[in-house]
Amino acid sequence: MLSSFPNSALRAAAFALALCTAGAVCAQSPALRLRGSVKSFDGTTLLLAERSGETVPLALADNFSVNEIVPIEPSAIQPGSFVGIASMPQADGALRALEVLVFPEAARGSGEGHSNWDLMPGSTMTNATVAELASAPQGRSLMLKYKDGQKNVVVPDGVPVVTFKPGDRALLVPGAKVVVFAQSRDGKPTALRALAGRDGFAPPM
């Protein structure tokens, strides 16, 4: 049962774990992405102030892990980079990026494809390889190719560009901005993985 999750998270339940920008989380049933900030963490329970305004207590899975989300320069986006880009569709059929995640090489291929995303209403996620990169007015234009197709994405100047690296639970201090992948296990909301920013940095995905 998922009644302990906030309503905004319940709407995300239809999205499979393979959609995760930071790699798939293997589970028996779909996980939810909860976005917000840490209220408290005592090593066994993560209390999350979710963006919906609700407070969600989360038990920890036995294999609970933490990744640190790190801002990087836009120049890190190069032809051949494997990226995950949350975007909004535009009237001309192009996609306008909301954020760009440059995957570490070890995570190449994670969640490859194009799907709906729950960052904003109507947003999408494209996990793909940068096939072409060109200058565009006030930004850059990327041609992304994945196994079933391709998408053109405009990345405006100022859009957050990040990568991730292994982190630890010391990042989960009160006020830390996080994205938590969670699942109902034994009737309890359970955190599987957290993406955390340091010193108030908010994971943009």
Q: Is the pLDDT of residue 11 over 70?
A: no
Point out which residues pair with 149 in neighbouring strands: 146
The total of other beta-carbon atoms located within 10 Å of residue 3's CB is 8
- pLDDT tens column, 67-95: 999 999 999 999 999 999 999 999 988 89
Task: Using pLDDT thresholds of 50, 70 and 90, give the confidence band for residue 23.
Answer: very low
Count of H-run helices and E-run strands, the chain: 1, 12
Do the beta carbons of residue 36 and residue 49 sit within 8 Å? yes
Residue 139 CB partners (closer than 8 Å, separation 6+): 154, 155, 156, 157, 159
Tell me how far apart the alpha carbons of residues 124 and 23 are, in angstroms, rounded to a whole number: 16
Q: Is the pLDDT of residue 37 over 50?
A: yes
